[in-house]
Structure 1
Amino acid sequence: MTAAKGKTYRWPIIVCIAAFVAFFLLGGIMYATGVLFSELLKVPCDVKRPMHNASAERDTSSSTCGTSNVTSRCDNEREVQWTNVSQTANDANATEECGGFGESRGKTAWVSSVHLAAGRLFGILAAILIDRFGCRTVAVIGSALAALGCLASSFASSLILFICLYSLISGVGYALLFTSSVVIVQQHWRPLGYLPIANGFALAGMGVGAIAFGPISRAFIGNYDWRSYLLFLAAAFAVVLGLSLLYKAPTTEADTKKKKRKIFNVALLKSPSVVLFMVAVILMFLGLSAPFVHMVRFALDLCSSQAEADYLVTYFGIGSLVGRVVVGFIGNHRRVQPVYLYLICLVCASASVYCAPLIQTYAGLAAFASAYGFFLGGILSFAYVTLGSIVTKEQVPQAAGWYMCSQGPSNVISAPIAGWIYDGTCSYSIAFYLSGTTFALSSGVMFIVAYIERRKRRNEEMKKCGNEEKEKCGNEEMKKCGNEEKEKCEPSV
């Protein structure tokens, strides 16, 4: 299949499929983190808990969380759990309710927050390395680091060691692999004119991963344990390492000028639109990860079964997949402005999170997971297209790096804040309202970006029209002068 100007689609399609697989793994791990979070909360299997302490905790929980039938039902379930974990590690029933590190929700949430933060903060490093060594090399290194982190963390004996090995090492690998996958798709498909569709397809892998990894993670953890699940992730990253070798950069005229570019382009941040876009990203990610990190535990607190709670990840993944595809196709229409579509998704995501604390049924939880996944999928897949519309082609790798880096600080504190709020109030309501507010503030900043970009387009159109009028007037003047010269040269009758 060949494009109109002699450009082939063959290798761009191969690259897009390889990136899809990489995003499938990265998205599945990120969105299924709630399943792992729930397992890590369990007490170690070699710990005995006296029954009088468990009873005291149950009494405190009841007095804090209200007096509804739902609360009393959950108290009964907690009683069964504490009774089981008070048995010895050799008890078969105890092994089903133990095996984690036994820390609070606030402390355990650092696992996901540091992992997500490392995956973002090192985005600018990934961009620099891509400029220097290319997407293929960076993706291979990232896959290797991610595999190493998952493998080593499966042997961790404490929460702190687990955070260092899994969250930090594999998080850095996540950043290198994710950024290089985004950039390679941009490099191949932007010149062909189908970037929104190609980008949407590749990043749809994250939605498919979210659908698949709910059952996958629960199958490994249910039949074996979470340590076996991490070994599976290490093997999966080894497969992605092989696919990363397909990240062959296209040959363009820009390659000959590459050595003349600066490696660290701080000048990119002189653009008001770029700076405000990064501010909007920081605000959004302050509330982005808390809902899907705590979603499984939120469902368990409403007395859903473990299988029902885990299946929310699948609902979220289905919504994310549909959102990425739908928003990608809408965004590919030539009359659709990327900034406006991105803004609409932000507003809708904010509304969905605000509704979460009002939910009291499993059907409501499934609807929330699907809706939040849909709009979040649209936001995350279309962010790079939106960013690409406000920077030049040569600035895309650096802009992608800054975009990843700006997410880091927010990801460090987002999930732990929600966990601390729950530890203090025994409710996720305040945490979800706070997340919705950060989305709303991000929407406000993006409205300013949309206004700036609109003014910029109008000025460019007026300048273009002015040049056309000037050229038109110049042609008429030359024509008039030519007629005068012609009349002057003709003999009079």
Structure 2
Amino acid sequence: MSPAAATNLGYTPPDGGWGWAVVFGAFISIGFSYAFPKSLTIYFKEIQEYFSVSYSEIAWVSSVMLASMYAGGPVSSILVNRYGSRPVVMVGGIMVSAGMVLASFGTSIMHLYLCVGVIGGFGLAFNLQPALTIIATYFHVKRPLANGLAMTGSPVVLSTLAPLNQFLFDCFGWRGSFLILGSIVLNCCVAGALMRPVGICVQLEPKTEPPECNGETAEEAAVEDTSGQSANLRTEKSHSESQGCVHRFIDLSLFRHRGFLIYLIGNVVMFFGFFAPVVFLAPYAKHQGIDEYSAAFLLSLFALVDMFIRPTTGLIGNTKWVRPRIQYLFSFAVSYSGVCHLLCPLATGNVGLVVYAVFFGLGFGMVSALLFEVLMDLVGARRFSSAVGLVTIIECGPVLLGPPLSGALVDIFGEYKYLYYACGLFMLGPGIFLFIMHYYNYKKLDEEQRQRVAVEMRTSEEAVQLKMSQDDKTACETDG
């Protein structure tokens, strides 16, 4: 296991104990946040026929839900910083439940956009953000593993919901199914109850460092930031002092953070092609004449592979060989997913789509397991809440537009292959960009580290020489 850098959180994270119960709560919360919008695609074909809408119009249901989940990130960050993770997650579970119950009485596609998309999406935001944040307060040394296990919730819940939704639809129709799902999602409230504040479990250490506004001071960053971003953060210290506590809840100084900007640019492009292949996997299978249960099985198979690769990726990311350069692993995962989508049109029939679902699940799981861990690695645990809030609000644009634009390609050409070509390019391009830019970033960080060590050595030598001269002067005065 790689050596851990100091956390400077005011306490030593327990890296276990009740933290594993928190990981289980995050497992449920994150699982519903990511799997719920995907699992609803089972109902798309029937809802599309019921309301007589196009592929792109029905895609807006999941798209609006995911975009609302991402757009609610900053609001969720502020609430978490103010009230803690537990109450925010519980309120989120109630909101998603209310949205699904109201949607069961929907009379138009716009009704579903509002209830499922907006109300349900914001509820999912209140589930996702607190779950990610609280893990960073309980874990440091084992954080990649804890994140990998928590992110496994998405494929586990998806593999359960996909066949369950098909069963519910056959028995109760989409309206009755939505009503039942509204009760099932209340399990998020149980997950929130497990998220006990870390202060109850550990003795907080007295803090002597200067006050800060939702971010690290330069002295903290010099030892905490495992990616060596201290050179960027030193310039931010004077800015935070002049601005007072303006950025108390959302630290806008992150926009001058080199690693954060690289991550943000790559992810914004990537998310145009990240969710659409999952959203259209079942409709694509039905379009090829595959029966409903086999189409639902593809989602379950995809989720099953995803389920096993996420903790495996967490274990790999926690090794001493990978963790110091974990950004490269993330870049590979993004590029690999892009290649899978570009090759998808070659997979025809049920067997071909099964093979694609397996390889797609591997790529999707690797990206998902590392998505927030690499952000923590770049900005540090103390700034993560602000960082993820800023990232999600910006990413809501591509998350919102990605599936409908992909659906529009199907409407225009009448085929799905152009959808997968576009998604493949949107993944492969950012993967190459991230690899190149992180190579540059690591090189710059190594240079900055050498310069910092050289300055410290010169300062130490000067201090020793000054002390020696003072000792010589004192000895001469004594002899005189």
- When residues 443 and 470 of structure 1 are mapped into structure 2, their CA distance, relative to the original with a 3 A threshold, is same
Structural mapping, 1:405-416, within 5 Å: 405-416=393-404
Deviates more, 1:280-289 or 1:264-273: 264-273
Task: Report the alpha carbon displacement of residue 448 of structure 1 after superposing the two structures with TM.
Answer: 4.1
Specify the alignment match of 2:52 in structure 1: 102
Amino acid at match of 1:387: L
| 1:67 counterpart residue number | none
Q: What is the Cα deviation at residue 16 of structure 1?
A: 0.7
Counterparts in 2 of 1:210-359, with a 5 A limit?
210-251=158-199, 252=204, 262-336=248-322, 337-359=325-347
In structure 1, the gaps of 5 or more residues are 43-99, 489-493
Q: Quickly say closer, same or farther: Cα 1:412–1:28, change in 2 above 3 A.
A: closer
- Residues 188/102 of structure 1: CA separation in 2 closer, same or farther (3 Å cut): same
- Deviations, residues 433-488 of structure 1 (Å, cap 9, x unaligned): 01111112211331243134312431243135425644775698699989999x99
Unaligned runs of 5+ in 2: 1-10, 215-244
SS at match of 1:269: helix
- Please say if 1:363 is aligned against 2:311: no
Q: 1:272 to 1:230 in 2, by over 3 A?
A: same
Contact (CA 8 Å) 1:350, 1:436: kept in 2 or not?
yes
Q: Which residue of 1 aligns with 2:230?
A: none
What's the offset of the Cα at 1:292? Answer: 1.0
SS, match of residue 271 in structure 2:
helix
Q: Check conservation: 2:342, 2:424, Cα contact below 8 A.
A: yes
Q: Is the 8 A contact 2:133 2:384 kept in 1?
A: yes
Distance 2:23 2:48 in 1: 38
> In the TM superposition, what is the alpha-carbon distance from 1:279 to its structure 2 partner?
1.7
Counterparts of 1:141 and 1:399, CA distance in 2: 22
TM-score by length of structure 1 reads 0.80
- Report the residue type matching 2:282 in the other structure: V
Give 1:106's aligned amino acid.
Answer: S
User: What letter is aligned with 2:250?
Assistant: F
Query: What aligned pairs does 1:394-409 form with structure 2 within 5 A after superposition?
Result: 394-409=382-397
Q: Which moved more, 1:265-274 or 1:200-209?
A: 265-274
Change in CA separation of 1:479 and 1:408 when aligned onto 2, cut-off 3 Å: closer
Once structures 1 and 2 are overlaid, which stretch shifts more, 404-413 or 156-165? Answer: 404-413
How much has 1:425 moved relative to structure 2? Answer: 1.2
* 2:118 paired with 1:168: yes
Cα shift at 1:103: 1.2
- Counting matched residue pairs gives 428
1:380 and 2:368 correspond: yes
Cα separation, 2, equivalents of 1:363 and 1:406: 38
| CA distance 1:17–1:258, shift in 2 (3 Å) | farther
Greater C-alpha radius of gyration? 1
Contact preservation (8 Å) 1:277, 1:449: no
Q: 1:112 aligns with which of 59, 62, 74?
A: 62
The alignment-based identity, stated in percent, is 21
1:187 to 114, 117, 137: 137
Supply the distance in 1 between the matched residues of 2:401 and 2:125 (Cα, whole angstroms).
18
2:16 matches 1:19? no
Q: Distance in 2 between matches of 1:246 and 1:228?
A: 30
CA distance in structure 1 between the aligned counterparts of 2:388 and 2:402, rounded to whole angstroms: 21
Which amino acid in 2 is paired with 1:29? F
Alignment check: 8 A CA contact 1:210 1:314 kept: yes
Counterpart amino acid of 1:219?
F
Distance (whole Å) between structure 2 residues aligned to residue 229 and residue 28 of structure 1 = 16
> Does structure 2 conserve the Cα–Cα contact (< 8 Å) formed by 1:188 and 1:249?
no
Q: State the partner residue of 1:83.
A: none
Contact 2:162–2:299 (Cα < 8 Å) also in 1: yes
**Structure 1 residue 23: Cα displacement:** 2.2
1:35 is matched with 42
Q: Distance in 1 between matches of 2:40 and 2:407?
A: 14
Secondary structure in 2 aligned to 1:41? Answer: helix
List per-residue Cα deviations over 1:130-176 (Å, max 9, x = no partner): 12222122212211111110111111111111111111100011111
CA distance in 1, matches of 2:459, 2:54: 71
What is the alpha-carbon distance in structure 1 between the residues aligned to residue 76 and residue 400 of structure 2?
19
TM (normalized to structure 2)? 0.82
Measure how far apart 1:357 and its partner are: 1.2
Q: CA RMSD in A?
A: 2.8
